[in-house]
Structure 1
Amino acid sequence: MKQLKKVIIALSIILAGLILVACAQTTKEKNSDQWDTFVKNKKIVIGFDNTFVPMGFKNEEGENVGFDIDLANAVFAEYGIKVDWKPITWSMKEAELENGTIDLIWNGYSVTDERKQKVLFSDIYMETEEVLIVKKDSGIAKLSDMADKVIGAQAASSGYEAFISNPEVLKDIVKDKDAVQYSTFTQAFIDLENDRIDALLVDKVYANYYLAQKNESQNYRMLSADLESGDFAVGARKADVTLVKKINEGFKKLYKEGKFQEISQKWFHEDTAAPAIKEEK
């Protein structure tokens, strides 16, 4: 029996040691430039909200589609790297990146000062703005009309962060001085359609696409939210400097070859590339 206990203790010590080594290796990987690993494995994991049309979403056939899906796949095809798309809870995106379960956040991810403290951003590839969507018969024609009205927003979205950071614009006047938070914009739109909220704070690019697809544009009014929430870029771990450099180079190469514009025309019927992508360097 004593011999068995010694064996068990020895095995426990070995197992604990292996776990510590694995954790140390994981920490080392997270804190180092991983470009060579991505090239060697020919794979990279990108986290995205699979309901955020038209940037990245799951279609009726269960396929991951969207502007960001096409753009990311095209960028990494330049380097012989395949993208593994991982649906994530948007409010957990930075934690997923830090934990190493994903390598990038790429799905209409807006640049903000707060996020700059947590991630390394690529060049901005698309400009956007926050808008307020209301029904045309709601009587809401300007921001001041939102007094005591119920507003909705996606949890942990750049729009909600801007809403909190600039309380004088909307937060101080809406009902309960806060927004009803949703996991996805799709859920929020359903509540707007059914009058459970009076307005929805949302990215303009999402609102335009969603309403057009539903053939509902004529029934809603879009107001500028007067909030600076940041334009779209790709988020990486701070250590992945080479990865971000390669993404930026990929953007410019795709634009020079016309592939970026082709993807943009497919989803938006116009060239949506930000000025940084169009610049010749």
Structure 2
Amino acid sequence: MKKLSVIALVLVLGLSTFLGGCSSSSSSSSSANDDSLKYVMDKGELIVGLDDAFPPMGFRDDDNNIVGFDIDLAKEVAKRMDIKVKFQPVNWQAKEQELSSKNIDCIWNGFGITPEREKVLTISEPYMANPQIFVVLADSGIKTQDDLKGKVVAAQNGSTAYATIDKDTELKDSFKEFVGVEDNVKALMDLGVGGSDAVAMDTVVARYYMAKDPGKYSIIKDTTILDEKMGVGFRKGDNALCKKVEDTLKEMKKDGTLAKISKEWFGEDLTIIGEDK
């Protein structure tokens, strides 16, 4: 598989160091003062921060209800914890600030695990793999990464795809322009009307739109921006709450609930939590 740069490779290699789950970032002193689970249980509600324009993970349906794969997961986890769940849309670029100010209790919406995020957050074990890739129009004639030289490439602001490319000066400078957009929905709309030549984005999102509109989009083959995995993000040191959510997801994996939800959205079980890493 072709890697974009040394930077991307370092990120991928570094990722393995940080995928230890909730307890990997804890210390004995922080754990002793960790009331994160009690805080959520006492108020009887888990507030989930999300980007509500990120199908199929979390998005608005035709009736303006927030739906999606991660929405179904969070609802089932909250049900098993015997608490309510509230879905709070946030500015994706300010998601960490929303978390630290306690406007939300976790970030759960196709949240990619990276070493940079692990430094400032506590993150669960990965529950799904989600490589970052380039999407183009099927009739664009763009077949390889080299074909993107001199082209306009877009990515969602605050996404790991945007961050990875932004750090890769050589790759970024090969584009005519690298632009940040509000969300992936807008990015694909712009692509469709010629506002850009390619979009760097999540595989799960790309596959969802490709299934909805067969023949319109294609993925540049043999090129991966980042071999990303998804997890649930919590405030740094909120290991008790993280572990409860993580353990509940593992229970759901074991009893087949995760597979059922995944098949409803993707046609197959793409979940990986509880498997050998």
Aligning the two structures, in what range does the TM-score lie when normalised by the shorter sequence?
Answer: 0.7 to 0.9
Q: Is the 1:162–1:229 Cα contact (8 Å) retained in structure 2?
A: no
Q: Secondary structure at the match of 1:78?
A: helix
Show the counterpart of 1:8: none
Please identify which structure carries the higher strand content.
Answer: 2
Q: Does the 8 Å CA contact 2:123/2:233 hold for their aligned counterparts?
A: yes
CA contact (8 A) 2:99 2:106 kept: yes
| Alignment partners' CA distance in 2, 1:136 and 1:86 | 35
Task: Name 1:195's counterpart in structure 2.
Answer: 194
Alignment of 1:12-161 (within 5 A): 32-161=34-163
Q: In 2, Cα distance between the equivalents of 1:209 and 1:184? A: 15
Whole-angstrom distance in 2 between the partners of 1:229 and 1:158: 10
Gaps of 5+ in 1: 1-30
Amino acid at match of 2:133: V
Q: Aligned partner of 1:175: which letter? A: K
How far has the Cα of 1:154 moved from its partner? 0.2
Find runs of 4+ consecutive structure 1 residues off by over 4 angstroms.
none
Summarize deviations over 1:87-140 as a string: whole Å, max 9, x none: 111111111111111110000000011111111000100001111111122221
User: Is contact 1:33-1:241 (8 Å) kept?
Assistant: no
Pairwise CA distance, 1:32:
4.5
| 1:179-237 per-position Cα deviation (integer Å, ceiling 9, x unaligned) | 21111111111110001101111101001102322x2x313220154322521000000
RMSD: 1.6
Question: Does the CA contact (< 8 Å) of 2:142 and 2:220 recur in 1?
Answer: no
Aligned match of 1:220 in 208, 217, 220? 217
Who wins on radius of gyration, i.e. which is larger?
A: 1
Q: Please state if 1:259 is matched with 2:260.
A: no
Q: Which amino acid aligns with 2:50?
A: F
Q: Provide the C-alpha distance between the structure 1 equivalents of 2:269 and 2:275, rounded to a whole number of angstroms.
A: 10
1:37 CA displacement: 1.9
In 2: Cα distance, 1:115 partner to 1:49 partner = 17
Compute the TM-score of the two structures, normalised by the length of structure 1. 0.83
Aligned length: 244
* Aligned-partner Cα distance in 1 for 2:247–2:217: 39
1:234 to 232, 235, 238: 232
CA distance in 1 between partners of 2:169 and 2:127 (Å): 28
1:75/1:247 contact within 8 Å kept:
yes
Aligned-partner SS, 1:36: helix
Q: Give me the whole-angstrom Cα distance separating, in 2, the residues matched to 1:164 and 1:33.
A: 37
> Aligned residue for 2:173?
172
- State the 1:279 CA deviation: 5.2
Counterpart CA distance in 1 for 2:195 and 2:182 is: 16
3-state DSSP of counterpart to 1:278: coil
Amino acid at match of 1:190: M
Structure 2 unaligned blocks of 5 or more: 1-32
Q: How far did residue 239 of structure 1 move?
A: 2.2
Asked if 1 retains the 8 angstrom alpha-carbon contact of 2:36 and 2:241, the reply is: yes
Distance 1:124 1:116 in 2: 12
Aligned residue type for 2:176: K
CA contact (8 A) 2:50 2:58 kept: yes
- The structural deviation recorded for 1:63 is 1.1
**Per-residue deviation at 1:172?**
2.6
Amino acid at match of 2:254: K
> Paired residue for 2:248?
250
CA contact (8 A) 1:166 1:227 kept: no
Q: What is the DSSP-based 3-state SS (H/G/I as helix, E as strand, rest coil) of the residue aligned with 2:263? A: helix
C-alpha contact 1:56 1:68 (8 A) present in aligned 2: yes
Amino acid at match of 2:186: Q
Q: Secondary structure at the match of 1:117?
A: helix
